[in-house]
Amino acid sequence: MTFHLNSMVTSRRTGQKTVTRLFCYHLVIFLLIQPAFNVYSKEKITLVAIDSEPIGYLQSGRAGGYYVEIFREMKRRLGDEYPSAIVLASVPRIFNMLNNNQDGFVVSILFSNTGISADVIQSVPVGYFYNVISSLKKRPLQLTNLEGKRLACMRGSEKSYGKKLIRLLQDNHITLVPITRFEQGIDMLIHDRVDGFIGPVAGVRYWADKKQVSPEQFAKPLMIGEKISKLMISVADNVDAGERKQTIDKLVQVLTEMKQEGWIQQVFERYFLNPNQGKG
């Protein structure tokens, strides 16, 4: 009888552990696939910038950055008729917000990426960036010595830089070291934890200036190509056709006017040509 009771207790405990494990597993899956929109904003339009200085960052409790300033001006021009909120998120999180939006509009500025659903509208060009592989002069990277190297890259963005980079990664058995913020890549490069860093040359210059690292320490960058960031608009299925068209047209109109006025170029220059002034 004792044997049966112990067996029953063991069986019950095993069953409880199995149920607990299944519950935790499904909870994790649920949290991963849940659209992030409801977490961050209750407004009709969520304007989401990459959480990485100088694109987007928090300073003394206030959001700043190149894309944040663009969104802040868009928000002002949209007015109360188009209520919006500005949030910061990682690149993978933004992909999730765009691809799984279930309420209203999610708007971001990104390079084209195969991780973005075909349902997401890729609209007005915003920024033009020369993307490079940066390395140090003491260990310069060239097309002939990339074999087996370790390169830092913003998590989720490796497919944003085009076919040339994808071929280089595959042909040279390069290991990507994922980072969540631009600054991390520069720090890892300077402290010899990676061989190179993939990203816009403007961002490298920004952080080299901010960290007072002499440009003489860097080797000639290995050019990947020019990429254009675009306004990305995701519309939930619960938005009716009339509101969809009206809001998309308004977003495009506002950003187009900002470009024509030279407003976006001025912000770009403040952050990337005069980085010490880029604290709007």
Q: What is the mean pLDDT of residues 28-41?
A: 42
For residue 208, how many C-alpha atoms fall within 13 Å in the half-sphere facing its CB?
Answer: 21
* Together in a domain, 62 and 120: yes
* Together in a domain, 242 and 120: yes
Q: Any idea what the CATH number is for the domain that residue 176 is in?
A: 3.40.190.10
pLDDT over threshold 90, residue 242: yes
Residue 129 or 273, more confident = 129
Confidence of residue 158 (pLDDT cuts 50, 70, 90): confident
Residue 69 sits at φ, ψ, to 5 deg, of -65, -40
* Together in a domain, 134 and 223: yes
* Together in a domain, 66 and 200: no
* Together in a domain, 72 and 198: no
What pLDDT is stored for residue 31 in this prediction?
41
* Together in a domain, 142 and 218: yes
**Structural domain that includes position 1:** 1-33
* Together in a domain, 82 and 18: no
pLDDT over threshold 60, residue 48: yes
* Partners of 48 in beta bridges: 87, 108
Average pLDDT, the chain: 85
What's the chain's Rg over C-alpha atoms?
23
What pLDDT is stored for residue 6 in this prediction?
41
- Whole-model pTM? 0.80
* Together in a domain, 156 and 243: no
* Together in a domain, 133 and 222: yes
Our count of domains for the chain comes to 3
* Together in a domain, 186 and 237: no
Top mean pLDDT of 150-164, 209-223, 239-253 is at 239-253
Distance CA 47, CA 69 (A): 11
Structure tokens belonging to residue 231? 């306004």
What pLDDT is stored for residue 1 in this prediction?
39
What pLDDT is stored for residue 42 in this prediction?
58
Q: How many residues in total does the chain contain?
A: 280
